[in-house]
Each structure stands twice: as structure tokens, then as C-alpha cells.
């Protein structure tokens, strides 16, 4: 379980939208991408993310802003 304080400061690395916790994952409130929580640690790496159904590439997400 992620603490409320930590969850308040975490954001999706793709579009910086807030995240919500669902079981052992964090879900972006804007694009629906999910990130795993392993041994209590949120893994906010795009390579570890699961894209929403029907999305084959990160560039298809509405919140994708391109490479920085």
C-alpha cells in the first residue's frame, strides 16, 4: 500500500497527470496507463508500464508530449 502522502506527489511520467492506486498498480487518471508496485515500491518507468487496451504505442496516448 502506498501512503496517501506519497500518492499525492507521484504523477504519470508521460503526461504528469495524478495517479490513483488500484490493487498492486498505479493508474494514470488521464491516459489509463498502469505502473506496477513491486515490494511496496512504485515502478514509474515507461518500459515497465502497461498501456491501455487498444493502444499499441506510447505516442498514441492523448497525453504524450514527445521526447524531452
Q: What is the pLDDT of residues 1-47, one digit of tens each?
A: 799 999 999 999 999 999 999 999 999 999 999 999 999 999 999 99
pLDDT reading at 66 higher than 80: no
Domain 4-60 of CATH type 2.20.25.10: yes
- What is the distance between the alpha carbons of residues 64 and 61, in angstroms, rounded to a whole number? 5
- Span of 20-24, 45-49, 57-61, 63-67 with lowest mean pLDDT: 63-67
The pLDDT value given to residue 8: 94
Give the CB-side neighbour count of residue 25, counting CA atoms within 13 A: 12
The pLDDT value given to residue 67: 63
pTM to 2 decimals? 0.88
Amino acid at each position: 500500500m502506498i501512503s496517501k502522502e506519497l500518492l499525492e506527489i507521484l504523477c504519470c511520467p508521460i503526461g504528469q497527470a495524478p495517479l490513483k492506486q488500484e490493487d498492486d498498480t498505479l493508474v494514470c487518471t488521464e491516459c489509463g496507463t498502469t505502473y506496477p508496485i513491486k515490494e511496496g515500491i512504485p515502478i514509474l518507468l515507461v518500459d515497465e508500464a502497461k498501456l491501455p487496451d487498444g493502444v499499441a504505442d506510447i505516442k498514441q496516448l492523448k497525453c504524450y508530449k514527445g521526447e524531452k
